[in-house]
C-alpha cells in the first residue's frame, strides 16, 4: 500500500484509502459507517498512523470500523443523559455549581468511540446566537453557577474572534469565576492553537481551564506540546481528558507513558474515563475490573501529579463518580486495613480526640 503524508483533512472513505490509511477492499465497509457517523482526521494525526501495523492505536481511534454499526441493547444515543438535564437548548445543568454549554457540533477529528457521536458532525447544527443568548440568560439567573464548561463538538474549532466573544459574554457574569474549554485541537491541529486563540480564551478576573483530550502518548508530539505551552503562556490552566480504550491504551506501560507525556507538556492528568455506552462502541470498552487494576499499577509507579482519576459517567444523567481501586477498608470500629502501592496490607487506627468520660 502506498503511504503519502496527507496535507488536508481526511473526511471521506476515499480520502482515507487514498492516504494509505485503509485498504481499498474496505471501501464498502467504510462507506456504510460513513453514512451514519462523521469522518474527520487531520494531517497532524494522520501522520502518526503506522499503516503497516494492523493494530495501530492511532488508526483505531479515527478510521471507521464495521463494528460501529453493531448496536448493543444497553447502548443509547444519549448515554450520559444530557437531554434530561438540559433546561434550555445547548445547555446541560447536571451539578449545582456548574453548567455545560455545547457551542458547536463539529470537531477537527471525529473519534470513533465518541459518546456524542449521534449529535455531532457536518450538518448537525451549532448553537445559534439566539440559543447562546438564552443560555447566557439562564446562567445569569442561576447565581450558584461558579463554572461554565464549553464543549460541543470542539469549541476551539471556532475562530479566535468568536471564542473571544463567547469568553467575554460569560466573563460579564459576576458569579461565573471559571471557564473550562474541552478540546482535541492541541493534538489534532496544533498549528491552529495560536497566540490569538490563547488570548481569546482569557478574561480579566476569571480562571481559564483547557481540558486537552489525548489517549495515546504518540499524540503528544512536539507540535502538540508547543501548542499546550502557548496556552499556558497566556495563563490557561491545562488538565487532561482520556478514555480507557481497548487496543489503544488498556495496558499499564501505555497509560504511564501517556500521563508522563501530559505532565511534560504542562498538562495535569485529570480524568481517565470509562467508556460510555454510546452506540456501536462495545469493541472499545474495557471491563471496570481491568481499569481498576490498571489504576493500581499507575498508583504504584506514578506520582500523584501524574495520576488521573478513573471515572464512570453513570447512564441516565446521574453524574460522574470515581471508580478506581479502594485502598482502605474498615471494620466499622475505627480500625482500618490500608493497602500500600505494592500490595502490602497495614493496620491503621483512627486516633482522634475523644471527649473525656466522667465516672
Q: What are phi and psi of 277, to 5 degrees?
A: -85, 55
Rounded to whole angstroms, the Cα distance separating 259 from 263 reads 6
Cell of 110: 471525529
Rounded to whole angstroms, the Cα distance separating 148 from 98 reads 6
Rounded to whole angstroms, the Cα distance separating 271 from 185 reads 18
Q: How far is CA 121 from CA 1, 153, 282, in A?
A: 29, 8, 21
> DSSP secondary structure string, 328-344?
EEE-SSSEEEEE-TTS-
Q: What are phi and psi of 172, to 5 degrees?
A: -75, 0
Q: What is the end-to-end Cα distance of the chain in Å, rounded?
A: 88
Q: Which residues are catalytic?
A: 94-95, 98, 107, 111, 114, 116, 276, 313, 320
**Cell 495535569 found at:** 268
Neighbour count for residue 339 (Cβ, 10 Å): 16
Q: How far is CA 243 from CA 7, 157, 171, 357, in A?
A: 28, 21, 30, 53
| DSSP single-letter state for residue 88 | B
Q: What are phi and psi of 281, to 5 degrees?
A: -120, 10
Q: Is the peptide bond before 113 cis (omega within 30 degrees of 0)?
A: no
Q: What are phi and psi of 231, to 5 degrees?
A: -70, -45
CA 231 to chain centre: 17
Amino acid at each position: 500500500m502506498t503511504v503519502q503524508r496527507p496535507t488536508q483533512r481526511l473526511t471521506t472513505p476515499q480520502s482515507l484509502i487514498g492516504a494509505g490509511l485503509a485498504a481499498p477492499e474496505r471501501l464498502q465497509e467504510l462507506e456504510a459507517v460513513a453514512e451514519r457517523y462523521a469522518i474527520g482526521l487531520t494531517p497532524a494525526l494522520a501522520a502518526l498512523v503506522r499503516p503497516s501495523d494492523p493494530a495501530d492505536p492511532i488508526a483505531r481511534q479515527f478510521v471507521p470500523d464495521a463494528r460501529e454499526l453493531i448496536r448493543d441493547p444497553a447502548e443509547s444515543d444519549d448515554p450520559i443523559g444530557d437531554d434530561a438535564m438540559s433546561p434550555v437548548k445547548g445547555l446541560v445543568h447536571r451539578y449545582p455549581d456548574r453548567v455545560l454549554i455545547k457551542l458547536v457540533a463539529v470537531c477537527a477529528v471525529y473519534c470513533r468511540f465518541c459518546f456524542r457521536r449521534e449529535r455531532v458532525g457536518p450538518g448537525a447544527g451549532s448553537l445559534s446566537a439566539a440559543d447562546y443568548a438564552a443560555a447566557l440568560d439562564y446562567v445569569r439567573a442561576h447565581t450558584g453557577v461558579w463554572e461554565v464548561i464549553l464543549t460541543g463538538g470542539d469549541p476551539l474549532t471556532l475562530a479566535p474572534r468568536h471564542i473571544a466573544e463567547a469568553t467575554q459574554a460569560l466573563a460579564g457574569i459576576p458569579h461565573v469565576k471559571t471557564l473550562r474549554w474541552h478540546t482535541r485541537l492541541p493534538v489534532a491541529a496544533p498549528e491552529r492553537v495560536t497566540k490569538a486563540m490563547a488570548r481569546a480564551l482569557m478574561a480579566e478576573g476569571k480562571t481559564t481551564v483547557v481540558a486537552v483530550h489525548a489517549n495515546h502518548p504518540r499524540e503528544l508530539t512536539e507540535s502538540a506540546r508547543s501548542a499546550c505551552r502557548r496556552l499556558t503562556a497566556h495563563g490557561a490552566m491545562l488538565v487532561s481528558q482520556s478514555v480507557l480504550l481497548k487496543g489503544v491504551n488498556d495496558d499499564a506501560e501505555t497509560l504511564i507513558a501517556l500521563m508522563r507525556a501530559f505532565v511534560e507538556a504542562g498538562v495535569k492528568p485529570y480524568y481517565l474515563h470509562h467508556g460510555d455506552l454510546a452506540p456501536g462502541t462495545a469493541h472499545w470498552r474495557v471491563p471496570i475490573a481491568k481499569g481498576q487494576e490498571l489504576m493500581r499499577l499507575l498508583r504504584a509507579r506514578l506520582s500523584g501529579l501524574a495520576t488521573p482519576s478513573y471515572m464512570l459517567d453513570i447512564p441516565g444523567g446521574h453524574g460522574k463518580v470515581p471508580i478506581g481501586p479502594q485502598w482502605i477498608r474498615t471494620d466499622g470500629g475505627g480500625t482500618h486495613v490500608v493497602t500500600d502501592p505494592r500490595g502490602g496490607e497495614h493496620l491503621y487506627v483512627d486516633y482522634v480526640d475523644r471527649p473525656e468520660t466522667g465516672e
